[in-house]
């Protein structure tokens, strides 16, 4: 399987969401990445389930929903009802992560676990076999347009080694500061899915940028 590209809608023009999703549908992108923030777990508020449900009506590809919120287990049914393909929760926000992952799968979605930049991949040792995807934040979550944290490349390499050692098919997704240069570095050490926000949506030609990311 070639790598996947997941444009992050947080960087889109919110006055033109329909047009932005239409561009996404026509592009070579694979997933639509949706960041839900609560102003508690991260210092920002984005959008919620009414917006995701509306997007589902026009989005023709899988929706990758990333919950940057406290107590994400309380919203599993809402995420599933909104039409999400994958529900991504933070390791740091889940006291009972195994239970949360199982509930996400029971609701019919793929289960993803996200790590903040300071959280070591070694903490995934006993949950890795249960998740479909691990997302590594390569910026501190909460805002788009931040600079890539270089240490993330080494972190992806360590996670790839863990996954391969266990003989698993778990995907590695990376979110934050992704462009052609950092994307290439991440793919070389084993990343499977690249999330790109500003680099795609703030470009004069987003489809071309998506094509170039896909061609890495």
Locus of tokens 């509930």: 103
Set 35, 38, 64, 132: catalytic member: 35
pTM (two decimals): 0.97
Set 30, 38, 64, 175: catalytic member: 175
CA–CA distances in Å: residue 93 to residues 10, 23, 88, 115: 21, 33, 11, 10
Report the pLDDT value the prediction gives residue 146, as an integer from 0 to 100: 85
Check if 35 is active-site: yes
The answer to whether residues 93 and 40 touch, using CB atoms and an 8 Å cutoff, is no
Q: Which residues pair with 195 in a beta bridge?
A: 6, 175
Q: In this structure, are strands 110-115 and 133-137 parallel, antiparallel, or unpaired?
A: parallel
Check if 175 is active-site: yes
CA–CA distances in Å: residue 106 to residues 72, 76, 99, 103, 110: 15, 10, 10, 5, 9
As given in the structure block, the two tokens for residue 37 are: 């923030």
Per residue of the chain (216 residues), give pLDDT as tens. 699 999 999 999 999 999 999 999 999 999 999 999 999 999 999 999 999 999 999 999 999 999 999 999 999 999 999 999 999 999 999 999 999 999 999 999 999 999 999 999 999 999 999 999 999 999 998 877 789 999 999 999 999 999 999 999 999 999 999 999 999 999 999 999 999 999 999 999 999 999 999 999
**Domains in the chain with CATH codes:** 4-214 (3.20.20.70)
């Amino acid at each position: 399987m070639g790598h996947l590209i997941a444009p992050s809608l947080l960087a889109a023009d919110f006055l033109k969401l329909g047009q932005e999703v239409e561009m996404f549908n026509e592009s070579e992108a694979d997933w639509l990445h949706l960041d839900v923030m609560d102003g508690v777990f991260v210092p920002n508020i984005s959008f919620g389930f009414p917006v995701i449900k509306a997007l589902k009506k026009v989005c023709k590809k899988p929706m990758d929903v990333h919950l940057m919120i406290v107590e994400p287990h309380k919203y599993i049914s809402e995420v599933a009802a909104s039409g999400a393909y994958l529900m991504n929760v933070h390791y740091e926000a889940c006291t009972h992560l195994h239970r949360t992952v199982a509930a996400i799968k029971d609701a019919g979605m793929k289960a993803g676990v996200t790590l903040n930049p300071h959280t070591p991949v070694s903490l995934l040792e006993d949950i890795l076999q249960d998740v479909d995807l691990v997302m590594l934040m390569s910026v501190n979550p909460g805002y788009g347009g931040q600079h890539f944290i270089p240490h993330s490349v080494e972190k992806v390499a360590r996670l790839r080694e863990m996954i391969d050692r266990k003989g698993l098919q778990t995907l590695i997704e990376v979110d934050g500061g992704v462009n052609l240069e950092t994307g290439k570095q991440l793919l070389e050490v084993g990343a499977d899915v690249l999330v790109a926000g500003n680099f795609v949506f703030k470009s004069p030609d987003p489809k071309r940028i998506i094509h170039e990311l896909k061609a890495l």
